[in-house]
Amino acid sequence: MFSWRQTTTKDVELKKVYAQEADFAFRQAFALGPIYPEAAFRYVHYLNSNHRFDDAKLIAQTFGKTSPNQKDVSRRLILQSLTIEERQLVAKGDYVKAAEVALEMAQLDAKNPGHMTRHQYYQQMILQNRRFISAFKNAPGNTTNLLRVVQLYTGMRKTNEVVQAIELFSQKSNKNRINLTATKNAYGLIGDWKNKLKVDLELTKHAPDSCAVWFDLAQTHMRLKQTNESTQAMLKALALFEKAKVKTPDIIPILRTNALFKPLRARPEIKKILWDN
Does residue 14 lie within any of the structural domains? yes
pLDDT tens-digit map of 72-89: 999 999 999 999 999 999
Does residue 29 lie within any of the structural domains? yes
Domain end marker among 92, 120, 153: 92
In this prediction, residue 25 has a pLDDT band, given cuts at 50, 70 and 90, of: very high
pLDDT tens-digit map of 198-227: 999 999 999 999 999 999 999 999 999 999
What's the mean pLDDT when you consider all of the chain?
Answer: 93
The DSSP output letter for 35 is: T
Residue 164: CB atoms within 10 Å: 13
In this prediction, residue 48 has a pLDDT band, given cuts at 50, 70 and 90, of: very high
Does residue 240 lie within any of the structural domains? yes
| Gap between the Cα atoms of 109 and 261, Å rounded | 53
Rg (CA), the chain: 27
CB distance 64 to 74 below 8 Å: yes
Does residue 269 lie within any of the structural domains? yes
CATH number of residue 14's parent domain:
1.25.40
Q: Is 233 exposed, middle or buried (0-12, 13-18, 19+ CB in 10 A)?
A: buried
In this prediction, residue 271 has a pLDDT band, given cuts at 50, 70 and 90, of: confident
What pTM value is reported for the model?
Answer: 0.76
35: pLDDT strictly greater than 90: no
Does residue 178 lie within any of the structural domains? no
Number of domains in the chain: 2
Does residue 166 lie within any of the structural domains? no
Average confidence (pLDDT) over 166-172: 95
CB distance 218 to 210 below 8 Å: no
Choice among 118-122, 148-152, 219-223, 271-275 with the minimum mean pLDDT: 271-275
Does residue 180 lie within any of the structural domains? no
Cβ-based neighbours of 221, under 8 Å, separated by 6 or more: 197, 227, 229, 230, 233
Domain range for 86 is 1-92
The H-assigned helical ranges of 50-176 are 53-66, 71-91, 95-108, 113-138, 143-155, 159-172
pLDDT score, position 248: 80
Domain end marker among 74, 92, 110: 92
Domain end marker among 51, 74, 92: 92
In this prediction, residue 68 has a pLDDT band, given cuts at 50, 70 and 90, of: confident
Choice among 49-63, 216-230, 242-256 with the minimum mean pLDDT: 242-256
Does residue 158 lie within any of the structural domains? no
pLDDT score, position 277: 62
Check residues 244 and 209 and name the one with the higher pLDDT. Answer: 209
Check residues 137 and 69 and name the one with the higher pLDDT. Answer: 137
